[in-house]
Amino acid sequence: MKKFVLAASIALLTACSAPQQEQLSLKLQPQLSMNTIAQGKTFTLTSKDVRAAQYVALVDSGRSNIEPIHSKQNVRIALENALLEQFESQGFKNTVNSENNIQVEVQEALVSVKHSVMENQMDANLVLEVTAETPKGKLVKTYNGSAKRSGMLSASNDDIQAVLNDVMNLVLKEIASDSELQNYMKDRF
């Protein structure tokens, strides 16, 4: 019995001391509207993530070692919640059984990082496809956000996280101010 307790204790301590994989925090800032453009028009919001891999950053330190970094939050759910807040601030109402649908498809969300001890280069890309569908028709729009940033020394996770959040917030802002999407939803929902 003592051997079992000792073995279990060692296994538990080993698991606790194993290095945890670094993760990035998503800090999305929905663009809330001060003016309601639609009063009580309903929609059902769905989303899907069609990315080949779920990491949000690839770090190449030049030693033939490329390390993926994931986000703490689910990217699809974080973007869906931010868009839901945006649409609701415009006066639209999310319901479960509306005949009007908005589907958000996350096609790309990635920061590519190349760094050495002396410098870093970060390229961030986000591609979202938003489909607004009603019995009267369908509008499909693709929103692209990209950013490049370089700096001295190697890139920290905070630097990578800042670039990722900047790109995501830029795309949210673009969707919030898209008059074509707003008019389509206002007129047909």
Domain regions of the chain by residue span: 23-188
pLDDT tier at 17, thresholds 50, 70, 90: very low
pLDDT tier at 106, thresholds 50, 70, 90: very high
pLDDT tier at 21, thresholds 50, 70, 90: low
Q: Classify the C-alpha dihedral 71-76-82-85 as positive or negative.
A: negative
pLDDT tier at 39, thresholds 50, 70, 90: confident
Topology, domain 23-188 = Rossmann fold (3.40.50)
- Ramachandran category for residue 61: left, alpha or beta (phi over 0 → left; psi -120 to 50 → alpha): alpha
Side-chain half-sphere of 170: how many Cα atoms within 13 Å? 16
Given a contact cutoff of 8 angstroms between Cβ atoms, the answer to whether 37 and 173 are in contact is no
- Cα dihedral: 153, 69, 86, 166 (round 10): 10
Q: Classify the C-alpha dihedral 76-81-85-90 as positive or negative.
A: positive
What is the reported pLDDT for 7?
53
Residue-wise pLDDT for 128-171, tens only, equals 999 999 998 999 999 999 998 887 887 788 888 999 999 999 99
CA distance 44 to 96: 6
What is the reported pLDDT for 36?
84
Q: Would you state the structure tokens that stand for residue 161, as one six-digit string?
A: 């996280």
